[in-house]
Structures are given as structure tokens and as C-alpha cells.
């Protein structure tokens, strides 16, 4: 199972041991893998709450493992004990006749809201997924969204993230006006929204290793949740049945420019890294659930979620069809996409407008999950690119 993996974590001793049988043979697809150590961990957390993870034997195991071997860390028991999860209010903005809610910075939620705000200043809604112009507008709004997000997003407890400026209707209108309706130009630079300070260029790698799910219960309570250990198998190190994350890779690998100007996502003690995770819940104007979406995918999450929201809210597609739409990642110079999934003529039409799609791109693939309220009730969709499934009672 581990042979030929491009991820170095897969060759770490803990990961190799986890996927190896007592007789030395590797576990294969279809084999039963038991993890009693993890079962004991979740029972302990269920009984004791967060304290079970941040203090005591599990915390000791985490600190011990992170300070061993190559590239040892410096985490202490005091660091873990002092950690406090932070609850924040959802960030909600109107989009046409809907209200879209996401988590705030340092998540990617505000960027998706900016992408929608840019598209609201276009006529993308009049084009379906089989039209060149619809995908062209999507690609150009995506480039503007990523340019701003990459420059300005970080932990708002440490840097001023100009969310209000980025989502200001006047700013969105001015940025959308940069979209040439006929032909794509050079990649856009970050704008200058109100509240923006001087920020260095971002150099965050943001490897993928993420998962997502959407749940709606019988009472209508809705969860759209993205979670990650960062990269495949986190750091490759395990304690008590679970892999430890390598979330530090979500910080900029070059914290400052040559002139010393700091990146918004520069690493700092106690700072939360920027994330592309951007689960969204869509309400109608009466506050009732209309849709919920989300995806794994590293920095491509923003494009995956934005595409699905456009498919549902603008192109009025069933949730499953919106999820299955081609993924198009327009971040900077290249345009990565799934060139075999478009309607006839779209790829050539985009090329004629300066959007030359290239298959692949190295990004973590999408794993979109979503729900949509219809006249007949709740419907669900799961990404055909992964093993997800949608179940509606």
C-alpha cells in the first residue's frame, strides 16, 4: 500500500507499522484494519473532554513523539495545556436572493464570499455550464479572489485582515470591472481594499490531506465541516492510534520579503495558520436552509466550493450535477482543469479568450459533499471523484 507514494510521511516508521500486519505483509484494500489504541483515545476524550487530549498521558505521548527523531520540535506540556479553542461567529453575506455563511478568517470562507461578490457584478447567471462565457467569467473572478486572499489572509488576532474592505460592494464592483469581457490578460495583483496594510508576497505551500462532510438532522440542524491533519498522514508520526498533524506547513515558507515586509501568514508563536477550508451554508432570505457545501482540496478548496455554489445558485443545477461540474483552478498564471469534462466547444472557446486549460495541476482532488433543499425536500450529492456517498432518509 505504501510503495510508490509521493508523500514522505507514508515512509515514516509509524505509518509503515500501522499498515503492516504482524506477519510483515502490507495491509491491502479489503483487509480489516483494527485500531484499538484509537478506540481507547476517543473513549477517554468522551469521558474527560478536551482535558484528556491536552493534559495527562495522551499529551505526554504527543510531546514525546514530536521531540524525537529527525527535525524534532519544541512543543511542551505547558504549550498543550495552555491551548484554547476559539469560537467565532459565522461570516454571512447576501448573494442574489440568498445569504451565504462561512467561517471567518483565517479560513478561506471570506475569499469564497469575495468570489461570489465579484461574480454578482457579472452576468454569469445567464450562462449555463455548457457556455464558454460562464466558465470564462468564473476563471477571471477566481484569479482576482486568489490574488487578494493570498496577499491579505492570516490570523486576525495577529494581523489586520481587511475582510470588510474586501467584501465592500464598491470594492467588489471595482475589482469585477477589471475583468475584460473578451480576453484574459496577465494574472491580476492584489487590490487595495479599505483597511489593507503593507503585506509581503505569500509563499504558503499548503499541501492537501483534508476531508469534508455535510449533515442535516431530522430537526434541520446543519453541519458543514472540513477537517485536516495537513498532507497525507500528517507528519507521519502517530501516538495513541492517531496521526499528528503538520499544520505548520500552512504558514508562509518565506515569512518576509527581502526588504523585511512580513507576509500576513508569517509564522508566529500562538498564531493560527491560514486555511483554505471554506465550508458554506446557504440560507434563503427567511433564514431557512437552502444548501450546504464543502470540500477538501488544499488551496483548490476555494475554487471547488465556488464552482459548486455557482452551479446551484446561478445555474440552478441539482446538487449532484453542480458537484460533478469540471473543476477549474485559476490562481495566478496557469489554468488547471479537467479538460475532458466540458461540453463540446468550451475548451476551445476558452482558449480563444486566452484561458488555456491544462489537465491536472498537482492539486489535491476535490471531495465535495453537499445538500440542497428542493420543492420535493432535501437532496444530497457526493463527489464522484472520491469514495463519498450521499444518503437521504
Measured between alpha carbons, how far is residue 144 from residues 123, 133, 252 in Å? 17, 17, 20
H or E stretch covering 336: strand 335-337
Q: Which domain holds residue 154?
A: 90-393
Indicate whether 105 and 247 sit together in one domain.
yes
Indicate whether 164 and 266 sit together in one domain.
yes
Is residue 145 situated within a structural domain? Answer: yes
Helices (H), the chain: 13-18, 36-48, 51-54, 56-66, 77-82, 109-119, 132-152, 163-166, 169-176, 301-309, 319-324, 346-352
Indicate whether 18 and 41 sit together in one domain.
no
Q: For residue 309, what pLDDT is reported?
A: 98
Is residue 380 situated within a structural domain? Answer: yes
Indicate whether 96 and 76 sit together in one domain.
no
Please name every residue paired with 243 in a beta bridge, in sequence order, or none if there are none. Answer: 238
Indicate whether 187 and 293 sit together in one domain.
yes
Is residue 30 situated within a structural domain? Answer: no
Indicate whether 274 and 351 sit together in one domain.
yes
Indicate whether 189 and 334 sit together in one domain.
yes
Indicate whether 74 and 171 sit together in one domain.
no
Whether residue 20 lies in the annotated active site:
no
What's the rounded Cα separation, in Å, for the pair 367 and 346? 24
Indicate whether 76 and 168 sit together in one domain.
no
Residues of the chain with pLDDT under 70: 1-6, 200, 203-209, 256-260, 361-364
Q: For residue 258, what pLDDT is reported?
A: 61
How many CB atoms sit inside 10 A of residue 374's CB?
Answer: 11
Indicate whether 393 and 306 sit together in one domain.
yes
pLDDT in tens, 36-92: 999 999 999 999 999 999 999 999 999 999 999 888 889 999 999 999 888 999 999
Q: Please identify which of the residues 41, 210, 226, 308 carries the catalytic annotation.
A: 210
Q: For residue 206, what pLDDT is reported?
A: 64
Decide which of 85, 100, 115 is a domain's last residue.
85
Torsion of CA 345, 331, 370, 379, to 10 degrees: -20
Helices (H), 120-181: 132-152, 163-166, 169-176
The CATH number that applies at residue 94 is 3.60.20.40
Decide which of 45, 65, 85 is a domain's last residue.
85
How many domains does the structure of the chain reveal? Answer: 3
The DSSP string of 66-133 is HTSSSS-----HHHHHH--------EEEEETTEEEEE--TTSSHHHHHHHHHHHTTTTGGGS-TT-HH
Q: For residue 212, what pLDDT is reported?
A: 92
Indicate whether 284 and 365 sit together in one domain.
yes
Is residue 354 situated within a structural domain? Answer: yes
Indicate whether 81 and 95 sit together in one domain.
no
pLDDT in tens, 218-266: 999 999 999 888 878 888 899 999 999 887 788 887 776 666 678 888 8
Burial of 315-348, coded b for 16+ CB within 10 Å and e otherwise, reads bebebbebbbbbbbbbbeeebbbbbeebeeebbe
Q: For residue 383, what pLDDT is reported?
A: 96
Q: For residue 1, what pLDDT is reported?
A: 43
Decide which of 85, 107, 126 is a domain's last residue.
85
Amino acid at each position: 500500500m505504501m510503495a510508490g507514494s509521493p508523500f514522505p510521511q507514508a515512509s515514516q516508521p509509524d505509518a509503515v507499522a500501522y499498515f503492516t500486519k504482524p506477519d510483515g505483509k502490507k495491509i491491502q484494500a479489503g483487509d480489516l484494519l483494527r485500531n484499538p489504541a484509537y478506540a481507547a483515545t476517543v473513549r477517554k476524550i468522551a469521558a474527560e473532554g478536551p482535558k484528556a487530549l491536552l493534559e495527562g498521558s495522551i499529551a505526554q505521548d504527543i510531546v514525546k513523539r514530536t521531540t524525537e527523531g529527525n527535525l524534532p520540535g519544541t512543543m511542551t506540556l505547558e504549550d498543550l495545556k495552555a491551548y484554547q479553542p476559539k469560537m467565532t461567529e459565522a461570516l454571512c453575506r447576501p448573494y442574489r436572493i440568498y445569504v451565504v455563511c462561512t467561517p471567518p478568517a483565517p479560513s478561506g470562507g471570506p475569499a469564497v464570499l469575495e468570489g461570489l461578490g465579484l461574480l454578482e457584478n457579472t452576468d454569469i447567471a445567464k450562462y449555463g455550464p455548457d457556455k464558454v462565457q460562464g466558465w470564462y467569467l468564473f476563471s477571471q473572478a477566481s484569479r482576482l479572489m486568489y490574488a487578494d486572499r493570498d496577499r491579505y489572509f492570516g490570523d486576525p488576532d495577529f494581523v489586520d485582515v481587511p475582510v470588510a474592505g474586501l467584501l465592500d460592494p464598491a470594492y467588489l464592483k471595482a475589482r469585477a470591472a477589471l475583468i475584460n469581457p473578451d480576453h484574459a490578460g496577465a494574472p491580476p495583483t492584489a487590490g487595495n481594499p479599505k483597511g489593507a496594510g503593507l503585506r509581503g508576497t505569500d509563499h504558503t505551500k499548503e499541501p492537501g490531506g483534508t476531508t469534508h462532510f455535510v449533515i442535516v438532522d431530522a430537526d434541520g440542524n446543519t453541519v458543514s465541516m472540513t477537517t485536516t491533519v495537513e498532507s497525507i498522514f500528517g507528519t507521519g508520526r502517530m501516538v495513541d492510534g492517531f496521526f499528528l498533524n503538520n499544520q505548520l506547513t500552512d504558514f508562509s515558507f518565506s515569512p518576509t520579503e527581502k526588504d523585511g515586509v512580513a507576509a500576513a501568514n508569517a509564522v508566529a508563536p500562538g498564531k493560527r495558520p491560514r486555511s483554505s477550508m471554506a465550508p458554506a451554508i446557504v440560507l434563503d432570505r427567511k433564514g431557512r436552509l437552502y444548501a450546504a457545501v464543502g470540500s477538501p482540496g488544499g488551496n483548490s478548496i476555494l475554487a471547488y466550493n465556488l464552482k459548486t455554489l455557482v452551479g446551484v445558485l446561478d445555474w440552478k443545477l441539482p446538487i449532484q450535477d453542480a458537484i460533478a461540474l469540471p473543476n477549474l483552478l485559476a490562481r495566478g498564471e496557469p489554468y488547471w482543469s479537467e479538460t475532458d469534462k466540458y461540453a463540446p466547444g468550451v475548451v476551445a472557446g476558452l482558449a480563444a479568450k486566452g484561458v488555456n486549460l491544462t489537465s491536472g495541476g498537482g492539486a489535491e482532488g476535490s471531495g465535495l459533499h453537499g445538500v440542497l433543499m428542493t420543492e420535493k425536500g432535501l437532496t444530497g450529492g457526493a463527489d464522484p471523484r472520491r469514495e463519498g456517498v450521499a444518503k437521504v432518509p
